[in-house]
Structure 1
Amino acid sequence: MSLFDVATPEGAEHVAWLDREADRLLDWALGSERSDGGFGWRADDGSLDPAKGRPLWIGCRMIHCLALGALRGRAGCAEAVDRGLEALRTTYRDEVHGGWFADADARGQGRKEAYGHAFVVLAASSALVAGRPGARELLDEALAVVLEHFWDDEMRMPYESYDVAWGDREEYRGGNASMHLVEVFLAASDATGDPQWRRRATDVCVRMMTAARESSWRIPEHFDTAWQPLPDYNLDQPRHPFRPYGATPGHAFEWARLLLALRAADPEAPAWLDDAAVGLVETARADAWDVERGGFVYTTDQDGVPVVRERFHWVACEAIGAAWALHRATGDPRWEQWYAEVWDFAVEHFADLAGGGGWRHEVSPANEPLALTWTGRPDVYHALQIALLPPLPLAPGLAVAVRDRVVG
């Protein structure tokens, strides 16, 4: 099997299929644009659900995805990116206090979160690589907001959230926001050439992976202000979409890919992070994969016992990305075999190839469509990225690598 080698018939056929799937997903992303600015939440039938608003994180992920489409030369993507950037400069921006509202349909409400602001950085970074006008200015502004409000320079870790006026800083500290800041710091370093963003990413990775190593490679997700784990956090909300109780195997896969990307981009990053990536994936795979029916459970407790058994599309996507990254880093054929196995599951149960482009977001333990935690199909970010990754190197990051593949 040679799925990662485009010089082989198997690899060429696989990458050609992935390119077609990427175009299908970009069609879905283009259909998410709202006439009043930004991007909305698409239902299963493809319609925009006004009740779900225009969340900042969805809008920014769509800009990122469409910037990747623009880099591929996909018609309509560059113009959609430009309109998305304009929405970030106007509709989403808080002109009084700075930063961006969590939802363009709820201006002045909710909280300003590291999670959403991280994706402003990602959107602007990818748009800058794609050469879109105004992207550099927006990226500089977003990075300044992150450093001023969300970066704890003493702890070398992020703060979580504030009220709209940057008061009432939340005492909770989160692994999810930390992971996405690693992602966007790497993207910002690629886009600007500034290595300090990689240094900050390394600091976050070291602290989080130290906690994971001390927890048998099950990453603690929830922390107090001193970054001590809160093992019972949200015990009564096990299906929370962003802060579920327990360990989240999908994040283990996502962290593993980021660790290996960091190591490839910056050889001075600690070498033990390579072993951490393997430990995370092997543990999450053993804890979460259903050997009888396929699919990964959403969460486990800190002993690896499944808690929420529904399967989410993004978890399968990140498992595919982790398998790709481990094969890139090690050449071990078992990771390519596992990559193929998870792709088969994802195509059968999530990709909905006859459904117009959006992937189903959730299925039951019996792999039947479900909507307990996620409704609709608002997000193509995870699926598009794994459709683009296989022929690419671990570093540079996705936007630069896509650009280089096209011009190369």
Structure 2
Amino acid sequence: GWDGPADRLIAHGIDFMAGRGRTERGGWVRTLNVDGSVADPVEDAYDHSCVLLALAHAHMSGHPDALRLGEETFAFLDAHLEDSRMTGFLETSNGEGERRSNPHMHLLEAFLAWHRATGERAYLRRASRIIDLFRSHFFDAESWTLGEYFDDDWKPVAGEKGIWTEPGHHFEWASLLIDFAARSGQTDLNGFARKLYASAVANGLNRATGLSYGAVSRQGLPLDTVSRSWPQAEAVKAAIALDG
């Protein structure tokens, strides 16, 4: 309902990104300096999920180039970030390092946004592959938790990172699972969403404040006791989604 210059602001943002932030292969750099020069040229999966989410909303807002830029970004994603074994996406285009569930969560969010923007089921099929990873690797049925850090075979990494879970991401995944279930008919995902929400509320909140911790172990021991603003926002969003 805002009547300000939204179209101009959206166009300014996309023009700045597209004019300075593209890579030779059709992807997007990680960061730019204030003057628009490239600060970090790495092509990162998390960043591409955010670009795709932005372009989906820009397309819904009527930006004339958003669909083309989105299609080019999807082509880059398929060519350079998709795991050749069809198990999700690489962290960066060089394929090195740990695997994380978080970029996949945001890719799921972006795929759902493109389905909403276009109505094309191809984006829902993309989302379903992320859901398959959630079912087979991310979600732990015993503790009702979702892991963050994995090795190349999607096994939890050794040490503290392997038991690291983030209540904020539990809430965020819950909202996305409810959304996907409504579009796909996979209503059993509503149960997964409730389990993630329940474990985050049971083990992820600071009892003195009622606010979500940054991270807890799979057994509910605090690992990051800082309560940032974004997990609280995700908790509200998840509660609304679960309440219908």
TM-score by length of 2: 0.91
Which residue pairs with 1:92 in the alignment?
A: 21
SS in 1 for 2:108: helix
RMSD over equivalenced CA pairs, Å = 1.9
Deviations 1:83-109 (A, max 9, x none): 111112212112x34311111216163
Pair 1:78-2:4 in alignment: no
Pair 1:176-2:176 in alignment: no
Question: Using CA pairs below 8 Å that are at least 6 residues apart, which structure has the higher relative contact order?
Answer: 1
Deviations 1:225-274 (A, max 9, x none): 11111152658xxxxxxxxx71111000000000000011111x3x3211
Which residue pairs with 2:32 in the alignment?
A: 104
Pick aligned residue for 1:140 from 71, 74, 80? 71
Which of the two has higher C-alpha Rg?
A: 1
SS in 1 for 2:223: strand
Which residue pairs with 2:169 in the alignment?
A: 251
Where does 1:14-163 land on structure 2 (aligned, <5 Å)?
A: 72-94=1-23, 96-105=24-33, 107=38, 109-152=40-83, 154-162=85-93
Which residue pairs with 1:311 in the alignment?
A: 227
Q: 1:229 to 1:130 in 2, by over 3 A?
A: same
Structure 1 gap segments, 5+ residues each: 1-71, 163-167, 236-244, 329-408
Deviations 1:151-190 (A, max 9, x none): 236334111113xxxxx32242110001001000111122
Identity of aligned residues (%): 29
TM-fit CA distance, 1:193: 2.2
Q: 1:277 to 1:77 in 2, by over 3 A?
A: same
SS in 2 for 1:100: coil
Which residue pairs with 1:220 in the alignment?
A: 147
TM-fit CA distance, 1:319: 0.3
Q: Assess if the C-alpha contact under 8 Å between 1:220 and 1:231 holds in 2.
A: no
SS in 2 for 1:300: strand
Distance of 2:50 and 2:167 partners within structure 1: 22
Pick aligned residue for 2:157 from 230, 251, 257? 230
Distance of 2:128 and 2:171 partners within structure 1: 17
Aligned residues: 240
Q: Assess if the C-alpha contact under 8 Å between 1:209 and 1:276 holds in 2.
A: no
Q: Assess if the C-alpha contact under 8 Å between 1:222 and 1:231 holds in 2.
A: no
Q: Assess if the C-alpha contact under 8 Å between 2:25 and 2:76 holds in 1.
A: no
Distance of 1:195 and 1:81 partners within structure 2: 26
TM-fit CA distance, 1:215: 4.7
TM-fit CA distance, 1:288: 1.4
Which residue pairs with 1:207 in the alignment?
A: 133
SS in 2 for 1:157: coil
Distance of 2:173 and 2:82 partners within structure 1: 19
Deviations 1:33-71 (A, max 9, x none): xxxxxxxxxxxxxxxxxxxxxxxxxxxxxxxxxxxxxxx
TM-fit CA distance, 1:207: 2.1
Q: 1:215 to 1:148 in 2, by over 3 A?
A: farther
TM-score by length of 1: 0.56
